[in-house]
Amino acid sequence: MDYQVVIAAPFGRLGVRCEAGALLELRFLPAGAALRPPKPGSLEAEVARQLDAYYADPRHVFTVPRRLAGTPYQLRVWERISAIPCGDTRRYLELSRELASSPRAVGGACGRNPIPVIVPCHRVVASAGLGGFNQSTGDETLDIKKWLLRHELG
């Protein structure tokens, strides 16, 4: 997808997609992706402002309006993830027990989270290690997860 707004983040770039007054998607993009700043006063500008506030203080509470699109199960997982406080982590296994599900299903829902960082799927880890992130176990995405956790647990 081609994002009309691409903003800088400490770990690379984020594509931002808003529609009808709500944030729909944040997407991790390569660090070399061309910046496309938001229009002043736009919802995308507010998303960027709130993300900058989070980078300055990980305890920042996001208030940007958002609309999550997913299956009923994914929405339940994302609701549980959103309740994990900054500085804490939960294990896939713990969440799966609460949801009468499996750790793999929780991981799948985490990987399909359309608004990472704001819906903090990085706070969900494996029983032994980090687990995956953003539908990947590659270094590029795991480095983002590590950055986010270090920032919050600092």
d(CA 23, CA 42): 11
Which of 3, 59, 50 is CA-nearest to residue 30? 3
d(CA 84, CA 35): 31
d(CA 25, CA 68): 8
β-bridge partners, 25:
17
d(CA 135, CA 109): 9
Residue with tokens 């950055």: 147
Annotated catalytic residue within 18, 86, 110, 121: 121
Q: How far apart are the first and last CA of the chain?
A: 34
Q: State yes or no: is 121 an active-site residue.
A: yes
C-alpha neighbours within 13 Å on the C-beta side of residue 41: 0
Catalytic residue IDs? 121
